[in-house]
Copies of this chain bind each other. A is one copy, B any other.
Amino acid sequence: MGGAEKGEEKKADEVDAVELVADVGVLKQVLDGRWMTVRDRARAFDLDEYDPPAYELSTEEHRARVLLRLKELAASGLPQIGFPEASGGQNDVGGGMVAIEMMGYRDLSLMVKAGVQWGLFGGAITALGTEQHHARYLRPAIDLELLGCFAMTESGHGSDVQALRTTATYLPDTQEFEVDTLDPTARKEYIGNAARDGRLAVVFAQLITAQGEHGVHALMVPIRDELGQPTPGVTIADAGRKAGLNGVDNGRLSFDHVRVPRTALLDRYGHVAADGSYTSPIDSPNRRFFTMLGTLVRGRVSVAGAALSATKLAQTIAVRRALQRRQFDRPGGEGEVVLLDYQSHQRRLLPDLATTYALNFAQEELTGTLHDLWTADGERDEHAQRELEARAAGLKAIATWHATGTIQACREACGGAGYMAENVLPQLKADTDVFTTFEGDNTVLLQLVGKGLLTGYRQEFEDLDTIGTVRFVAENAVGVAIERTAARNVIQRLTAGRRAGDGHLRDRAWHLTMLEDREKHLVETLAARLRVRSKQLDDPFRVFNTTQAHLLTAARAHVDRTVLEAFLAAIDRCPDPETTALLDKLCDLYVLSLLERDRGWYLEHNRMTDRRAKDITRAVDELCFALRPHVATLVDAFAIPGEWITAPIAQGDSIS
């Protein structure tokens, strides 16, 4: 106890230097992936610069500027590509999403306003409407002749969309719906484009006919007339100043006996005939609800993508600062020490950088999955859609928390300079902060992931709320099987060849086993606990509630494992050996940082010895030292155009 442990000292300074010349171009290509062309088009799109900078503007001035930029973006043709060909698009769903995510580098208010207009408003019309809606609304929505809102969240209900209280009651006499805000909890809240620019809103409301209630449906409701005044019965309030994203005009909407024609119902999944009779291609109200909600998946993927764009910009700034800034003399008269040469500074920036790479690859894979599923001919595979939703939920949660934590670390790593508005980090922090709770609160989303793990994304999924899941698990023998997301042959290739020495810290097969085993154990013990407690306790809420933290941990373990697999698949795609070697080392840092973070769990479950836990900590230190010479290359490969990096502390190329 009195001295350092035996045997560890000899390894302590073994900095396993990587003498590689990795190719920035190749790295960029691997990062950019399938939509590299769209990304390059977005990089070349020359958004006008305005004076003064956004952080000097009042809310109204900022909103006006972002609307101008939105028009520039529309004129670029980029947002269009995701729409159906019949509406002038290219049906490139993934490309349309990527184009909007790329705006996360430039102006997050613009990205979010674009997401509201084309992703949510345009996306809802595309997915929930039928041909007449497409023909009437899509082109003007794409070209910005018609600015719209996506009015789902209410002041009383954000996460629990199924419990929304706005009503749309069919009146057969006039063939109209009457839309009503029954009480203040039913007021539509935080609605983008509502405070200033929106003309028409997709309003989510409980549909009521003479037959009864049919659950949540969406209707097109005009909220402003040609002169910009609220339409009769519509009350619009400004949501006011926010922590960030003040270029987006969020507002509140209330409806008092507002009449819209029968055709206003987006009726792909629920139709009301002239006589008021209701029909739907989906019998189960729950399944119908979740199918309609499935359109939200695109928004979640886009938020994760924009969060990663913002994170990359923050990391580029912090790394360039850390490569230029010196503080405290190095003994021996060699001048002052560069910040990034300090172990604490490496620890602060490098594991996060490895994680950004990992999440980039997972995001790229997820976009591809969504694109393929949504552009496939024939009926959509429901199991695949459920799995997509769960993966999007999980990645959105992990990527946005990563953004919040990493941008904060970058801000602190830049000291006082990081607090200055001109150095961009404050805006990135403030704008991305809401990402962890909008488009689905992260905690609620991880619960969704956990539910999927317990039920295997099966058909019954849609009929199960959280309590239903508890009952399902309690009553069924749930078998947990880890489905690998990357092709099995890729993993075999990467795990078989490499450093297969027994128990080597960089043995890839061991990494995968550790993450898979953790996920499997967490899900199995969760299922077992739910069964046991269901027998002990009468109250299913208490059964759920005493295992909620366990459920969230299981969900996170699942996401971590799928992200590692995406990293492995990306390494496999890399065409250049030296670049592959660098990615390989970066992947080691990613996975060993995870194991270090969770070593309490591994140790208490006898998955790791105390000796091995200490070795992992040392290996993370050593990998940071070894990767230090390559950090400039790693951020340069994000290929953020120089003129987009306006922070004075990050001017010039990276200097290693």
Contact = CB atoms under 8 A, between A and B. Distances in A.
Interface of A: 1-5, 9, 12-13, 55-56, 58-59, 153, 157-160, 163, 189-190, 239-244, 327-332, 336-337, 341-344, 347, 404, 408, 411-412, 415-416, 418-422, 425-426, 429-430, 433-434, 436-438, 441-443, 465-467, 521, 524-525, 528-529, 532-533, 536-537, 539-542, 545-546, 548-549, 552, 596, 599-600, 603-606, 610, 613-614, 621
B426 A243 contact: yes
Nearest to A157: B327
B243 A3 contact: no
Contact of A441 (B56, B415, B529, B614): B415
B529 A241 contact: no
A26 to B, nearest CB: 32
Contacts of A420: 239-243
A415 B157 CA distance: 11
27 contacts: A3-B524, A3-B525, A3-B528, A4-B529, A13-B536, A56-B59, A56-B241, A159-B328, A159-B415, A163-B329, A242-B421, A243-B419, A243-B420, A243-B430, A244-B419, A328-B465, A328-B466, A342-B548, A343-B548, A344-B548, A412-B442, A416-B434, A418-B437, A426-B430, A426-B433, A599-B604, A604-B613
Contact of A536 (B9, B189, B332): B9
Closest 6 CB pairs of A and B: A243-B426, A241-B421, A603-B603, A600-B600, A604-B613, A604-B610
B610 A614 contact: no
Contacts of A412: 436-437, 442
A610 B600 CA distance: 9
Nearest to A9: B532
Contacts of A12: 529, 533, 546
Contacts of A153: 416
How many monomers of this chain does the complex have?
2
A207 to B, nearest CB: 20
A344 B159 CA distance: 15
Contact of A344 (B532, B552, B604): B552
Contacts of A545: 341-343
A517 B606 CA distance: 23
A539 to B, nearest CB: 8
B433 A419 contact: yes
Given A159-B328, A441-B415, A422 B56 contact: no
A2 B466 contact: no
B331 A467 contact: yes
A177 B571 CA distance: 63
Given A524-B3, A599-B600, A443 B344 contact: yes
A13 B546 contact: yes
B546 A343 contact: yes
Nearest to A542: B13
B415 A404 contact: no
A437 B408 contact: no
Q: Give the one of A9, A157, A239, A545 with max B CB within 10 A.
A: A545
A541 B437 contact: no
